[in-house]
């Protein structure tokens, strides 16, 4: 149990989602009082079921596009669907969640004098023409495409964070998260890691969009959560934005081969059309996080993939999701 003076009341919006549930778990284990707020659009009670009986954990079903009146010391604002399939399902709601959700959470932070961290994204760089992407790069984003509800929503949320910081002296933190994976990803969220693993475990064809030569850099969830905590508590007053991601870059073909090898699957590759505005490359420049937060990802792809494969295999074996 944390000393009372060190214990904080921490709000995690989107706390029943993939990243949020790991963050809640870590904060509870560190002795903080955690309020998890989620509307369960893409999150699930199962992700936080193991925390429900804990005296430091509280769950509230709430949509962040509506005001929230609670008393807190810190806010991690994660509420927003993250997979392209989910955020394009109801694009207007995605923009509302990012923009109105940010306004509501910033208003809450202003009233309670809480420090507030925004889960921004590498998508603010769009289809980047600078590679790897440093924080100083302003990005190459299509404002009217199918990904824009997410990209522009997140960009506007960053604008709001920095305006509240300048105008109202709010204590903000902004991290730009690059593709992160691990247990509790939604098995049907359409993201590449979950898709490939589910397809491999079911012996289905692995769907490569485009020629598979586009790249991404994959960060394991535990590393990311460590980055969140370091950013929130950093003693330099660093507000960000700070890139958080694993700089090891892979093509989607390389990822598919790794998944096939590690699952021992006999799945074949099939090629499907590339979704529009799909970024061709993505790799974080993490110099800032390394120098200011002393943060470096510790888990490399083979180890992280193994843990994720075991998680999905468990879901199938326990009958939570069909084997085929």
Contact footprint for ligand UDP (CB under 6 A): 83-84, 179, 190-192, 195, 207-209, 214, 216, 252, 274-275, 278
Q: Which entry of 150, 164, 181, 220 is annotated as an active-site residue?
A: 150
Query: Which are the contacts of 111, defined by CB distance < 8 A and separation ≥ 6?
Result: none
Nearer to ligand NAD, 138 or 271 (CB): 138
208 binds, among ligand UDP, ligand NAD, none (CB under 5 to 8 A by kind): ligand UDP
Residues between 181 and 240 with contacts to ligand NAD, criterion CB under 6 A? 186
Cα distances from 158 to residues 48, 93, 151, 187, in angstroms, run 28, 18, 11, 29
Count CB atoms within 10 A of the CB of residue 123: 25
Q: How far is Cα of residue 316 from the mean position of the Cα atoms in its chain?
A: 24
Residue 13's H or E segment, with its range, is strand 9-13
Q: Is 243 in the site for ligand NAD (CB under 6 A)?
A: no
- DSSP at 214: -
Contact 80, 97 (CB under 8 A): yes
Rounded to the nearest whole angstrom, what is the least distance from the CB of residue 142 to ligand UDP in the complex?
14
Separation between Cα atoms, residue 194 and residue 321, nearest integer Å = 13
Our answer to whether residue 87 is catalytic in this structure is no
Between CA 132 and CA 124 the distance in angstroms is 14
Binding-site partner at residue 14 among ligand NAD, ligand UDP, none, CB < 5 to 8 Å by type: ligand NAD
Q: Is 285 in the site for ligand NAD (CB under 6 A)?
A: no
> Would you say 93 or 199 has its CB closer to ligand NAD?
93
Decide: is 248 part of the binding site for ligand NAD (CB under 6 A). Answer: no
State which of residues 11, 12, 14, 293 lies at the interface with ligand NAD (CB under 6 A): 14
Size of the chain, expressed as the number of residues it contains: 324
Instruction: Please choose which of ligand UDP, ligand NAD, none residue 252 contacts, taking the beta carbon within 5 to 8 angstroms, the exact cut-off set by kind.
Output: ligand UDP
79 contact, one of ligand UDP, ligand NAD, none, CB 5-8 Å limit per kind: ligand NAD
Residues of the chain by 3-state class (helix, strand, coil), percent to 5: 40, 20, 40
Q: Return the one option of ligand NAD, ligand UDP, none that residue 207 interacts with (CB less than 5 to 8 A, by type).
A: ligand UDP
Q: Is 158 in the site for ligand NAD (CB under 6 A)?
A: no
Q: Are 207 and 252 in contact (CB under 8 A)?
A: no
- Cβ atoms of 132 and 247 within 8 Å: the answer is yes
The 74-113 contact track toward ligand NAD, x by CB under 6 A, reads ----xxxxx---x----------x---x------------
Nearest C-alpha neighbor of 204 from the set 320, 305, 318, 322:
322
Q: Which of 225, 219, 192 is nearest to 15 (CA)?
A: 225
Tokens (6 digits) for 52: 């429900």
When the beta carbons of 43 and 128 are compared against ligand UDP, the nearer one is 128
Applying CB under 6 A, does 175 fall inside the site for ligand NAD? Answer: no
Burial classification of residue 278, based on how many CB atoms lie within 10 Å of its CB (0-12 exposed, 13-18 middle, 19 or more buried): middle
Minimum CB separation from ligand NAD for residue 93, in Å?
7
Residue 43 binds which entry of ligand NAD, ligand UDP, none, CB below 5-8 Å type-dependent: ligand NAD
Task: Write down the least CB distance from residue 2 to ligand NAD, Å.
Answer: 25
Minimum distance of ligand NAD from residue 264's CB (angstroms): 26
Q: Which residues bind ligand NAD (CB under 6 A)?
A: 13-14, 16-20, 38-43, 63-65, 78-82, 86, 97, 101, 119, 121, 177, 179-180, 186
**Which residues are catalytic, by number?**
150
């Amino acid at each position: 149990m944390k000393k009372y003076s060190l214990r904080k009341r921490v709000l995690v919006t989107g706390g029943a989602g993939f990243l949020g549930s790991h963050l809640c778990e870590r904060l509870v284990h560190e002795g903080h009082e955690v309020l998890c707020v989620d509307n369960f659009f893409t999150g699930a009670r199962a992700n936080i079921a193991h925390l429900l009986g804990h005296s430091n954990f509280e769950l509230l079903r709430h949509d962040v596009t509506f005001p929230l009146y609670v008393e807190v010391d810190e806010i991690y604002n994660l509420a927003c669907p993250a997979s392209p399939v989910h955020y394009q399902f109801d694009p207007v709601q995605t923009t509302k969640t990012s923009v109105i959700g940010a306004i509501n959470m910033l208003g809450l932070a202003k009233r309670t004098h809480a420090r507030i961290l925004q889960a921004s994204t590498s998508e603010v760089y769009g289809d980047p023409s600078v590679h790897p992407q440093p924080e100083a790069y302003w990005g190459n984003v299509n404002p009217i495409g199918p990904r824009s509800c997410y990209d522009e929503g997140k960009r506007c949320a960053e604008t709001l964070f920095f305006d509240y910081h300048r105008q109202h002296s709010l204590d903000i933190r902004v991290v730009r998260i690059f593709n992160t994976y691990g247990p509790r990803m939604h098995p049907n969220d359409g993201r590449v890691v979950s898709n490939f693993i589910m397809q491999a475990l079911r012996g289905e064809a692995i769907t490569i969009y485009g020629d598979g030569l586009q790249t991404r850099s994959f960060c394991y969830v535990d590393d990311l959560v460590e980055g969140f905590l370091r950013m929130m508590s950093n003693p330099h007053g660093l507000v960000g934005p700070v890139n958080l991601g694993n700089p090891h870059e892979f093509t989607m073909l390389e990822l598919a081969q790794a998944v096939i090898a590690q699952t021992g699957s006999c799945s074949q590759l099939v090629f499907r059309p590339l979704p529009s505005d799909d970024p061709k490359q993505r790799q974080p420049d993490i110099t800032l996080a390394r120098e200011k937060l002393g943060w470096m990802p510790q888990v490399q792809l083979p180890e992280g993939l193994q843990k994720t494969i075991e998680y999905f295999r468990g879901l199938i074996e326990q009958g939570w999701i069909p084997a085929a």
